Amino acid sequence: MKRVVITGMGTVNPLAHNVNETWDKVLKGESGIARIKRFDPSRCTSQVAGEVKDFSRENLYINPKKGNRLDDFVAYAAHALKEAKTQSGFSVEENPWRVGITLGSGLGGIDAAVTNVTGLNEKGISGISPMYIPQTIGNIAAGFLSMEYGFKGPNMSMQTACATANHSIATALMIIQSGQADVMVAGGTESGVNELIVGAFGRMRALSTSYNDTPEKASRPYDKGRDGFVIAEGAAVLILEEYEHAKARGAEILCELFSVGMSGDAYDLVMPDPEGNGAYQAMKSACEMAKIDPSELNYINAHGTSTPLGDIGESKGIYKLVGDDQSRLSVGSTKSMHGHLLGATAGLEAIFAVKSVMDNKIPANINIENLDPDVAVSCINREVVEREVNYALSNSFGFGGHNSSLIVGKVR
């Protein structure tokens, strides 16, 4: 089977506008979560978020006339792809039919949807923009960026809630392994910090509400005082490449992508299986496909959303996977620093998994003041760990029971 490696990465998120600065802040334990500034959040039960700060579209698009008419989730993806493509240095012109893209979004152009519904209510049909459909459909980021760069290979968009980016990466992996492309752009993007979405998640009682006055403490996976996730936004893109193709052009290989295991809970619309059975199956499948024993894992970037049920269920799944011997393993959730980027979160956390392999450093969990005794694993680190990271696994699960577990590691 063809081997797949990662040769480029890019991101924009609540912490920073590039990979290196983001990684530096994560290792320092900095938080990108603050009181919402994009709108007055006083009507919402949760008033904190991980917003992208000081973002500019200047020099962002090759075709700004078209690009600037699209929603922020497309702009975020364009920014992340620009960084990733620059690092990778792959050529599209050599054979555009061998370069593809799988990039999704959980919500799509929800900001444009809110604007157009308001226009409809105020002005009738004339209040709807002629661009409404391309502004809002979730696949338009992949479609537009393929036009920007001339990608003529497989062009797809996943939408599996918070597992979107991992499923995008999984699809890209399989496309390369099947021989349909040499290079694939993969990841996720999201722009959903508006009153409708924050209010809606609040009505579900899914968001943190107890830390509105101390936003940096609101996302606290595994802490006994956690009370919901913190919504965030941004994008993350990885360049996947067939190993021999990358070697032949002298590319810098960041790490190898070994597998993405997937499963379905078949349990509830929004609640995860409380015993973590689906999570366990996805992780187990990932290890089997990567041809490694779970004991060889050195880092698990957990989904860890800071919800009362989700953190416990996932920890049970991890325990089923690794058992009592956790001496070479660290488990943590970087969402404590950047919040939950919904459809983009798996992409950002995949980048952290890659960086942990590259730098042999594992980020700390912040905001654990009182570790929940129901957490099933004992290897949740509160300080940065420096150890050899040969294999890192990154979990992302979504509403609807979508489970995904990605494994990256040193090239073997």
Q: Where are the beta strands (DSSP E) in 151-288?
A: 155-156, 183-190, 234-242, 255-264
Tokens of 101: 């893209």
Distance CA 375, CA 208 (A): 19
Residue 162 falls in the annotated catalytic set: yes
Distance CA 72, CA 50 (A): 15
Tokens of 338: 């950047």
Which of helix, strand or coil describes residue 313? helix
Which of helix, strand or coil describes residue 250? coil
Tokens of 108: 């799509």
Catalytic residue among 44, 162, 255, 287: 162
Residue with tokens 């924009």: 12
Distance CA 353, CA 408 (A): 7
Distance CA 131, CA 168 (A): 26
Number of Cβ within a 10 Å radius of residue 303: 31
Residues recognised as catalytic: 162
